[in-house]
Amino acid sequence: MSLIKACLFDLDGVIVDTAKYHYQAWRQLANELGFDLTLEQNEQLKGISRMESLDIILAIGGVELSEEEKVRRATEKNARYLELCMQMTPEDTLPGVRAFLDELKHRSVKIGLGSASKNAKVILERIDMLSYFETIVDGNRITRGKPDPQVFLLGAEDLNTPPANCAVFEDAVAGIQSAIAAGMLAVGIGEKSVLAEADIVVPGFVGFHFSDLGD
């Protein structure tokens, strides 16, 4: 019998590749302010809330804006981001995700979402994945962003599962730190060199099975 009774998933970059749309929309904002945003700089924004991401971007460009202007720019970025997301279909779900979630359901392992995004439900609906999740903890619910463990601790509580019996799937450094701080098994989706703190790192869900989480 496995120790893992619940799996908590990040959304962007784990369930669906929205990271490219976040990057595109943030890059446009940076360009409008007169500087560029590299892919490497974008890595720092993964898992980070919208307003915190904006602060990081403004610091990169050495630009200062009033609070009012920041809200305006962030709203504009979100509208652009959502417009890009609306092109998505269920086929945009990352390879292997559906099969892995089906396996979890088959094994009666609970499934939850832990995302900093305020758009989580809209995006899950768009790719027809909403019904898989027994709980959704998103950016509208949390008061402390990743790397704080709040998002995953709330998810575990909703699923009535002690943190030690939860696994977290994350593509962001901040998300892995959040999972570790919550006392959960941290599974990195991406590159080992970036997600070095994770307990396990895999490039994606293709060929990944529940038994790969260990006993």
Q: List residues binding Mg ion (CB under 5 A).
A: 10, 12-13, 171-172
| Degrees to nearest 5, angle at CA 114 with 21 and 201 | 80
73 interacts with ligand G6P by CB under 6 A:
no
Q: Please, are residues 74 and 29 in contact by the beta-carbon 8 Å criterion?
A: no
Q: How far is CA 8 from CA 39, 47, 136, 139, 154, in A?
A: 26, 14, 9, 15, 10
126 interacts with ligand G6P by CB under 6 A:
no
Q: Select 109 or 124, whichever has its Cβ closest to ligand G6P.
A: 124
Q: Which region, judged by CB under 6 A, interacts with ligand G6P, from 40-48, 59-67, 105-113, 193-201?
A: 40-48
CA distance 8 to 159: 10
Q: Which region, judged by CB under 6 A, interacts with ligand G6P, from 64-72, 90-98, 114-122, 176-184?
A: 114-122
Look-up: residue for tokens 């720092």? 44
177 interacts with ligand G6P by CB under 6 A:
no
Instruction: Indicate which residue of 10, 138, 158, 171 is catalytic.
Output: 10
The beta strands (E) that lie in 131-207 are given as 135-137, 166-170, 185-189, 200-202
Q: Select 61 or 148, whichever has its Cβ closest to Mg ion.
A: 148
User: Smallest distance, Å, CB 24 to ligand G6P?
Assistant: 12
Residue 10 a catalytic site member: yes
Q: How far is CA 10 from CA 1, 37, 62, in A?
A: 25, 24, 30
94 interacts with ligand G6P by CB under 6 A:
no
Look-up: residue for tokens 């949390």? 142
User: Smallest distance, Å, CB 106 to Mg ion?
Assistant: 25
Residue 128 a catalytic site member: no
The binder of ligand G6P chosen from 116, 142, 180, 198 (CB under 6 A)? 116
Query: Which partner, Mg ion, ligand G6P, none, binds residue 117 by CB below 5 to 8 Å per kind?
Result: ligand G6P
Return phi, psi of residue 173, to 5°: -60, -45
Return phi, psi of residue 63, to 5°: -110, 140
49 interacts with ligand G6P by CB under 6 A:
yes
CA distance 111 to 6: 6
Query: Which partner, Mg ion, ligand G6P, none, binds residue 5 by CB below 5 to 8 Å per kind?
Result: none
Name the residues that contact ligand G6P, by CB under 6 A.
12, 22, 45-50, 53, 78, 115-119, 139, 172
Q: Which residues does the annotation mark as catalytic?
A: 10, 12
